[in-house]
Amino acid sequence: MKISLINGSPKNRGSVSGTLLKTLENILLKTDIDKKIDISNFKISNSNIDRSQYDTISDSEILIFAFPLYIDSVPSHMIKWLSLFEDSFSSNDIRIFTIINCGFYEGFQSKNAISIMKNWTDKANLKWGQGLGVGGGPTFFFEKTIEQNIGKNLYNGLKILSTNILTGNDGENIYTTPNIPRFVYMLTSHHLWRRAIRTFGGKPKDLSKKL
């Protein structure tokens, strides 16, 4: 089974989307399901589309996109990529899975962006597999965090995705939150924002400045 993992984060080095794909790849490779799998990795980080990637991608049976939620939607360079290739797939047996991570606590925030990916799948005449909306994305920058208690919901979501990928099933979209109370996530995030602005020579009160 040929699988393409497509990281759509614009970050060149280190991204939550990359960590989520790496973890999913490890789960796929460790599975008990008897399937020979051949995984290729791709990065779409800006709107300079690398057309040389396209042959391998379109030869896959499964495409798994992972990208961040931007303004409740799909990042613009990904939209360019999706519209460029939507009429080009020769096989309509390709199945599409999508993982969208967001800064808000609730993975449900990515519901509309997952619908956009489902609509694109229909327009491209491909088959929809499943979507996973990951809340509290920045918590999961490091792979080891996903395997700890705080990543329990997410790890289970990735395992369900992996089973559906390998067995040819589709599934209801899954939305996860980190396994900590919402107020703890908010307090920690605010602390990190204050620390970040100080690092860049600003003041915490400037975080709420209206431009």
Ligand X SMILES: Cc1cc2nc3c(=O)[nH]c(=O)nc-3n(C[C@H](O)[C@H](O)[C@H](O)COP(=O)(O)O)c2cc1C
By CB under 6 A, tell whether 15 contacts ligand X.
yes
Q: Does 71 bind ligand X (CB under 6 A)?
A: yes
Identified binder of ligand X from the candidate list 81, 104, 128, 185, rule CB under 6 A: 104
Q: Which of 72, 148, 156 is nearest to 106 (CA)?
A: 72
**Closest separation between CB of residue 69 and ligand X, Å?**
4
Token duo for residue 155: 């790890």
Binders of ligand X: how many residues, by CB under 6 A?
17
Residues 136-155 binding ligand X (CB under 6 A) are: 137-138
**126, 89 contact by CB (below 8 A):** yes
Interacting stretch for ligand X, rule CB under 6 A, among 97-105, 115-123, 150-158, 194-202?
A: 97-105
Region 166-205 residues binding ligand X, contact defined as CB under 6 A: none
Which of 70, 56, 73, 69 has its CA nearest to residue 6?
A: 56
Burial of 205 from C-beta contacts in 10 A (0-12 / 13-18 / 19+): exposed
Stretch that binds ligand X, among 23-31, 57-65, 70-78, 91-99 (CB under 6 A): 70-78
Give the helix/strand (H/E) hosting 122: helix 111-123
Which DSSP string do the residues of 161-195 spell out, in sequence order?
HHHHHHHT-----EEE--SS-HHHHHHHHHHHHHH
Segment 111 to 140, residues that bind ligand X, using CB under 6 A: 137-138
From the number of C-beta atoms within 10 Å of its C-beta (0-12, 13-18, 19+), residue 136 rates as buried
Cβ distance to ligand X smaller for residue 16 or 96: 16
Q: How far is the CB of 135 from ligand X (least distance, A)?
A: 8
Considering only residues 61, 103, 160, 188, which one is a binding residue for ligand X as defined by CB under 6 A?
Answer: 103
Contact 157, 105 (CB under 8 A): no
Q: Does 68 bind ligand X (CB under 6 A)?
A: yes
Quote the DSSP letter at residue 18: H
- Which one of the spans 7-15, 115-123, 151-159, 194-202 is the region binding ligand X (CB under 6 A)? 7-15
Binding site for ligand X (CB under 6 A): 9, 11, 15-17, 68-72, 101-104, 109, 137-138
